Amino acid sequence: MKTHIVAFALSIIISLSARAELKWQQTTIELHPTAADKQAVGHFKYQNPGSTPVHFKSVHASCGCTTAQTQKDEVPPGGTGEITATFNIGDRTGTQVKTVTVETDEATNQKTVLTLRTIIPQQLEINPTFVFWKQGDKPDPKTITVKVSKDFPVKHIKVTSSSPDFQTKVEEKGNGEFKIDVQPQETKNVVASTLTIQPEDSQKVFYATARITNATTIQ
């Protein structure tokens, strides 16, 4: 009977020490930056509830657009801290999911994947962002549709072409939708224009491209 009790106690102790690991407050964070933000920062907080120190072996982000930093290399028993993940938004759009893999010297669960989910607000949805004509094509107008997000009410948009070779005409369709007709003067020469689309009362600028391409088609 005595041996059974000793064995049971031993197994409990070993089991507890084997399961000793960093306790993460959360391993997934969702961020909602504003349209003006250049970065989104997530703080992954942890605690070491075990009786031995935990050491970080590596912290590795899934892409070059994300950096991750630990405050310290060693977490003492009872110690707390956080890993800061910084996602550079750049010209990215929509929902971006980036991960940070944390490797420690814990007995189990040595790798933890932290997920940073960033919802980048999209003021305008432009479709398509590129219109083209082949040399010699009929210079008929082509349409770019602009849809305004309901979170960013925009009544008017201004469109300017970087080249006089293309004319633009904006038509308001209602329900936050605009139609931009783009028309080249002629299609004899290879020319291009950057179309700047600016919502009224907004600093943010959007772009589309119009181009006359080489007539040669390689297949």
Does residue number 67 form part of the binding site for other proteins (CB under 8 A)? no
Binding to other proteins (CB under 8 A): which residues in 120-159? 126-130, 132, 134
Task: Report the alpha-carbon distance of residue 88 to residue 92 in Å, rounded.
Answer: 9
Does residue number 163 form part of the binding site for other proteins (CB under 8 A)? no
Closest approach, Cβ 93 to other proteins, in A, equals 8
Name which position in 26, 71, 109, 145 contacts other proteins (CB under 8 A).
Answer: 109
Smaller CB distance to other proteins: residue 13 or 155? 13
Residues in the chain: 219
- SS3 of residue 6 by DSSP: helix
Name which position in 39, 47, 62, 122 contacts other proteins (CB under 8 A).
Answer: 62
- SS3 of residue 202 by DSSP: coil
The two three-digit tokens of residue 184, written as one number? 């080249």
Contact status, residue 49 vs residue 23, Cβ threshold 8 Å: yes
Contact status, residue 108 vs residue 21, Cβ threshold 8 Å: yes
Smaller CB distance to other proteins: residue 15 or 175? 15
Task: Report the alpha-carbon distance of residue 128 to residue 41 in Å, rounded.
Answer: 31
Contact status, residue 70 vs residue 27, Cβ threshold 8 Å: no
x-marked contacts with other proteins along 80-99 as a string, rule CB under 8 A? --------x-xxxx---x-x
DSSP 68: E
Binding to other proteins (CB under 8 A): which residues in 179-218? 192, 194, 207, 209, 211, 213-214, 216-218
Task: Report the alpha-carbon distance of residue 85 to residue 175 in Å, rounded.
Answer: 38
Give the binding site for other proteins (CB under 8 A).
3-4, 6-8, 10-12, 14-15, 18-19, 62-65, 88, 90-93, 97, 99, 107-111, 113, 115, 126-130, 132, 134, 192, 194, 207, 209, 211, 213-214, 216-219
